[in-house]
Amino acid sequence: MSGRAATRVEIRACAKTYAGGARALFPTSLVVEPGEVLALLGPSGCGKTTLLRVVAGLVASDPGGSVRFNDDDVTSRPIETRGVGMVFQHYALFPQMTVEGNIGYGLRVRGVSAGDRQRRVGELVDLMRLGGLEQRRPAQLSGGQKQRVALARAVALEPRVLLLDEPLTALDAKLKVALREELAELLRRLSITAIHVTHDQEEAMAIADRLAVMRAGTIVQTGAAEALYRDPADPFVAEFLGRVNRIERTADDKAAGIVRIGSTVLRCPPALAAHRELLARPEDIAVQAAPAGDVEAATVVQRVFLGDRVHLRVQGCAGAPLLVDVASDAAHAVGDRLRLTIDPARLMRAAPQNG
Amino acid sequence: MTEGSVRRSPALFAITIAVSVFTVAPMLVSVAAGLVENYSVGARSGYTLRWLDEVWSQYGSTAWHSIALALACVACAVVVGVPCAYALARSRSRAARAFEELITLPVAVPGLATALALILAYGEWRDFRQSFAFVFVGHAVFTLPFMVRTVAAAFAHDDLVALEEAARSLGAGFVQRFLGVLVPAVLPSIVAGALMVFTLSIGEFNLTWMLHTPLTRTLPVGLADSYASARLEIGSAYTLVFFGVVLPALWLMQWLATFFGPRPVRATR
Amino acid sequence: MIAACFAPAAALFAAFWLLPMARLVALPATRGAATYFAVLLEPRYLQSLVQTVALALAVTAASLVLGAAVGLYLGRRRFAGRRLLLAALTMPLAFPGVIVGFFVILIGGRQGPFAALTDELLGTRLTFAYGLFGLFIAYVYFSLPRTIVAFTAAAEAMGEELEDAARSLGASGRWIARDVWLPALAPTAGAAGAILFATAMGAFGTAFTLSSRYEVLPITIYNEFTNYANFALAASLSIALGVITWLALFIARRFGPAEVGAAA
């Protein structure tokens, strides 16, 4: 690939309102650093695809919004002249063209000579490990192969930005994981700025350098996966990125500066002292067998063996059952009585930051 | 959704406008022509209902004949066609497949040929030949495949097979199953088929022209007569009658169809 | 039980189509086996056949192109009155062919606005209703609605992903038409085109009303039967016409049963 510097993408106050008043996207601003892979993550209808299509040039932002690639204001340019590469959920390969034809399409439109085209297509075929498939039609390819062709086609023109619209959603679970790793590796190698839309938080965390979690047309929080996981700004983000327990504190608890988990009483960290509700990740909760006389111990009501770990559902005296993740060789069975505890530093706030 | 190339193509827009005008203008001209005193002079000659009066007194009966005929076709298509559709959907034999191909032949072959065949076969039977039954028979054979195909497709749905098996396991006899379970399940298709049959029968000309006699005329046959022999204004007024009679009937049936469930119609019409 | 379900339909069909048709097919043999090929051997009939095929092909081509354009436009845009427009555009499907012929006479005939216009501009009344052009226009009139219905549905089903992908690679206008629209609409065009061809070949009422100078096969058959009482010849020509239309519809079904609408 050429040694061209990567592109910085700046989105300023882009919004989208459809006829009838439906707001798919509220004014949103975002910066994607050169060479960075950013994931737009959220449930369906959150506006992530709309935002992607605004960056792509398929959808025009409401007046007032702008999109810049480095210093170039591309807001008024349609996708044909924006210089982006795009990969789609259902591959969108031209059914009547071969793999070669598909990959070389953008070059053909641009008028690149047959010789140069062939050379470039060959490079991409090697890069995407599609050797031997050049003459096949899309109908003769597997899902994974199709997506690789789609990727090759998108990067053939060395686009400034690569946009991926749920590229792995249509694949089955195992294939998804395999292709995910390939994709992450490829993006790193190309060091191209990329925006990746998905509703799968695992996928986002595996591929992206940074995540932007969206809901109902706005970005709720951006940051690296670990930062968002450990310090979510919002219960929505916390719950979207993984399973989470809500821990209630009574007025007395608050007054006393404590938090109860099961029958265990812990000192509440000062930063969280004012919060009525806290969040705790299942894997952060530690368990041990309760001593025989412990009346307030929690009981295991459900045990699910998942291969590499065990999910327990544990019911204490009060409140909702807690979800606890333990090692797969843990011996706790349904009906066992347990004592729970957690490192207070792992507790997270439930209310939004300014609450 | 509409921000793609379609918006950027003035050619498509222009063609759509042109085609729309091309299609709608003659209908409007025809309606107007039936209401003016003199077509060559145009609107300046003044508006009148006398042509409509004349048409109605001379040709009015053809409207009722056509509607009655169309309804008879619908009845026949339902009574004969629905069981046939069931049989086709359930039967796996080669004979059944062959039969399915055969009954669509009256559609594939020009109406003229079918009419000729009927005349050659039954022309000697005076009473039959000169009655409405002769026209009816031609219509029935022509419209039957539409009902059969639409309803057979519905009967063949997997969930219907399961429904029938469930009914059988509960002890339901054939007639019970058919009338109580199957027919209600495919009712939307039957209604869609009925709509098609009705429309086709009302507008049928090729067959009917050959089969009719001066005493057994349908609306389209009457129209052809008036186009050939009467003034343009009469022809236009008669066409207006066609619109006035047929379109509401069609809309009524379409409204009834939505009543019975929005199953998509397989055959385009 | 299944057999009982077949019985009424089978009886109706046998009595009023199969047996009469068998008799029709046997009729030309009474004048010699060569009668079956009259459509090819007799110059008069051959000319009628060729004219009909030429007309049907031209009408099919024109209707497919125009219908595709309208279908692409209406299938992918939403605007107030769209359903009304679609309903208006598909109304002609319910018209008997004679009405379409009448429309052409109204507008392109001796008393129509076209004649009046040319009279004012050129001094003589010109008409287009009674020749090939009038016939062509009329046939296109009743063929267009069918293609519009088919292509609108196909364009709706086409989706936008492929077009977005092509555009992201820089393609616009003619590239999109050639690499996205054409391949996506080809099956619909094939099925609809075959039906159109069959319908145009077998159309009688329109040509009858126009009493066109351009003679088509159905009119020839009608004349043989009604005016010359040449039953055997009429039968032979009907069979030839029937074979051609049946073949066209057979080909249409090769494009997929979902594409094929009911022919009328």
**Are B205 and C96 a contacting pair at CB < 8 A?**
yes
Question: What is the mean pLDDT of the segment spanning C227-241?
Answer: 88
Q: How many residues does chain B have?
A: 269
Residue C79 has pLDDT above 50, yes or no: yes
Residue A280 has pLDDT above 80, yes or no: yes
The proportion of chain B whose per-residue pLDDT surpasses 70, expressed as a percent, equals 92
Q: Specify which residues A314 forms β-bridges with.
A: A300, A322
- Name the residue among C175, C180, C183 with its Cβ closest to that of A109: C175
B249 located within any domain: yes
State the nearest Cα–Cα gap between B6 and chain A, in angstroms.
13
pLDDT at C124 over 60: yes
Q: Among residues 124-153 of chain B, which lie with CB inside 8 Å of chain C?
A: 137-138, 140-141, 144, 146, 148-149
Lowest mean pLDDT among A172-176, A246-250, B77-81, B250-254: B250-254
> Domains of chain A (ranges plus CATH)?
9-241 (3.40.50.300), 245-345 (2.40.50.140)
Separation between Cα atoms, residue A287 and residue A330, nearest integer Å? 10
Partners of C203 in the β-ladder? none
What is the predicted pLDDT for the residue at C264? 30
Q: Measured between CB atoms, which of C8, C106, C245 is closest to B80?
A: C8
Give pLDDT, residue A32: 96
Report the pLDDT value the prediction gives residue B266, as an integer from 0 to 100. Answer: 37
Note the pLDDT tens digit of each residue in C35-75.
888 888 889 999 999 999 999 999 999 999 999 999 999 98
Task: Average the pLDDT over C228-237 and give the result.
Answer: 87
Q: Cα(A75)–Cα(A54) distance, rounded to whole angstroms?
A: 9
Residues C183 and C210: beta-carbon distance below 8 Å: no
What are B174-188's pLDDT values in tens digits? 888 888 888 888 888
**B232 with B33: CB under 8 angstroms?**
yes
Query: What is the second-level CATH architecture of the domain C37-97+143-259?
Result: Orthogonal Bundle (1.10)
B79 inside 8 A of chain C by CB: yes
Smallest CA-to-CA distance from A281 within A337, A345, A351, A202 is with: A345
Question: What HEC string does B24-79 produce?
Answer: HHHHHHHHHHCCECCCCCHHHHCECCHHHHHHHHHHHHHHHHHHHHHHHHHHHHHH
Closest CA to A152 of A143, A162, A139: A162
Q: Which residue on chain B is closest to A19 by alpha carbon?
A: B1
What per-residue confidence (pLDDT) applies to B8?
A: 62
Query: How far is the C-alpha of A272 from the C-alpha of A355, rounded, in Å?
Result: 11
Cβ-contact C86, C74 below 8 angstroms: yes
The pLDDT assigned to B264 comes to 44
Using pLDDT thresholds of 50, 70 and 90, give the confidence band for residue A355: very low
- Positions of E strands within chain A: 9-17, 23-32, 37-41, 66-69, 72-73, 84-87, 161-165, 193-198, 210-215, 218-223, 245-248, 258-261, 264-267, 277-280, 285-289, 298-305, 309-315, 322-327, 337-342, 348-349
Q: Is the dihedral of CA A120, A122, A127, A129 positive or negative?
A: positive
Question: For residues B268 and C137, which has the higher predicted lDDT (pLDDT)?
Answer: C137
Q: For the ranges B85-94, B170-179, B244-253, C198-207, which has the lowest average pLDDT?
A: B244-253
- When scoring C25, C64, C73 by the number of chain B Cβ atoms within 10 A, the one with the most, hence best to mutate, is C73
Amino acid letter, residue A48 = K
Q: Residues A15, A64: contact at Cβ < 8 Å?
A: yes
Total H helices, total E strands in chain A: 10, 20
Find residues 120-159 of chain C whose CB sits inside 8 Å of chain A. Answer: none
pLDDT tens-digit map of C149-168: 999 989 888 888 999 999 99
A201 by DSSP, 3-state: which? helix
Could you give the CA distance from residue A59 to residue A56 in angstroms, rounded to a whole number? 8
pLDDT exceeds cutoff 60 at C258: no
- Tell me the average pLDDT across A310-332: 86
Which residues, 6+ apart, have CB-to-CB distance to C123 below 8 Å?
none
Subunit contact B29:C95, Cβ cutoff 8 A: no
pLDDT for position A223: 95
Neighbours of C14 (CB within 10 A): 13
Least confident of A149-158, B1-10, C92-101: B1-10
Name the residue ranges covered by the structural domains of chain C.
37-97+143-259
Please state the domain count of chain B: 1
Q: Is A298 in the C-facing interface, judged by CB distances under 8 Å? A: no
The answer as to whether B144 is a domain residue is yes
Choose between A52 and C253: higher pLDDT. A52
A152 touches chain C (CB under 8 A): no
CA-CA distance, A162 to A193, in Å (whole number)?
Answer: 6
Residue with tokens 């385009």: B268
Within 8 A of C19 by CB-CB distance, chain B residues are 121
Confidence of residue A3 (pLDDT cuts 50, 70, 90): low
* Domain presence at residue B11: no
For residue A12, give the 3-state DSSP assignment.
strand
C77 touches chain A (CB under 8 A): no
pLDDT at B69: 94
Backbone φ and ψ for A208, nearest 5 degrees, come out as -90, 155
Predicted pLDDT of residue B3: 53
pLDDT of residue A157: 92
Alpha helices by DSSP H, listed for C77-171, are 82-90, 97-108, 113-122, 132-158, 161-168
CB contact under 8 A, B103 and C150: no
The answer to whether residue B92 is domain-embedded is yes
Q: How many CB pairs under 8 A join B and C?
A: 268
Please give the C-alpha separations between residue A231 and each of A203, A221, A239, A247, in angstroms, as whole numbers: 19, 10, 12, 16
Whole-number Å distance between alpha carbons of A128 and A117: 16
The neighbouring-strand residues paired with A197 are A40, A165
- Tell me the ipTM for this assembly: 0.87
- Cα C56 from Cα C61, distance rounded (Å): 9
A-C C-beta contacts closer than 8 Å: 56
Share of chain B above pLDDT 90, in %: 36
Using CB atoms, pick whichever of A78, A109, A163 lies closest to residue C169: A109
What mean pLDDT, rounded, does chain B reach?
Answer: 85
Pick from B108, B105, B104, B130: nearest CA to B119: B130
Q: Is C93 left (phi over 0), alpha (psi -120 to 50) or beta?
A: alpha
CATH number at residue B113: 1.10.3720.10
**B39 within a domain of the structure (yes/no):** no
Average pLDDT in chain A: 90
**The pLDDT value given to residue A36:** 94
The reply to whether B13 falls in a domain is no
Which pLDDT score is estimated for C58?
Answer: 97
Show the 3-state SS of chain B. Answer: CCCCCCCCCHHHHHHHHHHHHHHHHHHHHHHHHCCECCCCCHHHHCECCHHHHHHHHHHHHHHHHHHHHHHHHHHHHHHHHHHHHHHHHHCCCHHHHHHHHHHCHHHHCCHHHHHHHHHHHHCCCHHHHCCHHHHHHHHHHHHHHHHHHHHHHHHCCHHHHHHHHHHHHCCCCHHHHHHHHHHHHHHHHHHHHHHHHHHHHHHCCHHHHHHCCCCCCCHHHHHHHHHHHCCHHHHHHHHHHHHHHHHHHHHHHHHHHHHCCCCCCCCCC
Residue B111 is assigned to a structural domain of this protein: yes
CB C226 within 8 A of CB C177: no
Least confident of A81-90, B41-50, B118-127: B41-50
Q: Does B28 reside within a domain?
A: no
> In which band, very low, low, confident or very high, does the pLDDT at C255 lie, cut at 50, 70 and 90?
confident
B194 touches chain C (CB under 8 A): no
pLDDT-wise least confident of A141-145, B204-208, B264-268, C25-29: B264-268
- Tell me which residue of B263, B18, B20, B192 sits closest to C91, measured CA to CA: B20
Question: Among A93-107, A279-293, A310-324, B246-260, which is the least confidently predicted range?
Answer: B246-260
Q: C223 or C34, which is more confident?
A: C223
In chain B, whose CA is at the least distance from the CA of C104? Answer: B26
Chains touching B, CB cut-off 8 Å, 3+ pairs: A, C
- Structure pTM? 0.80
Minimum mean pLDDT range among A70-74, A146-150, C124-128: C124-128
- Cβ-based neighbour number of residue A250 at 10 Å: 12
| Distance in angstroms (rounded) separating the CA atoms of residues B150 and A186 | 52
| C201, closest residue in chain B (CA to CA) | B110
Q: For residue A234, what are its two tokens?
A: 């919002």
Number of H helices and E strands in chain C, helices first, is 14, 0
Does the CB of C176 have a partner CB in chain A at under 8 Å?
A: no
Kindly give, in sequence order, each residue whose CB lies less than 8 Å from that of residue C255, ignoring residues fewer than 6 positions away.
C187, C188, C190, C191, C194
Token pair listed for B117: 């065949």
Cα separation, A322 vs A310, in Å, equals: 14
Give chain A positions within 8 Å (CB) of C166. Answer: 94, 105
Span of A250-254, A350-354, B108-112, B194-198 with lowest mean pLDDT: A350-354
* A to B CB pairs, distance under 8 Å: 4
- C146–chain A nearest CA distance, Å: 26
**CA–CA distance, B263 with B157 (Å, rounded to integer):** 13
Model confidence at A13, pLDDT cuts 50, 70, 90, reads very high
Instruction: Report phi then psi at A269, rounded to 5.
Output: -60, 140
- Return the closest-CA partner of residue B88 out of B137, B154, B142, B140: B154
Show the domain range for B193.
60-259
Instruction: Choose the mutation target among B1, B3, B5, B6 for the interface with A, i.e. most A CBs under 10 Å.
Output: B3
Q: What is the DSSP letter of A297?
A: -
pLDDT at B122 over 70: yes
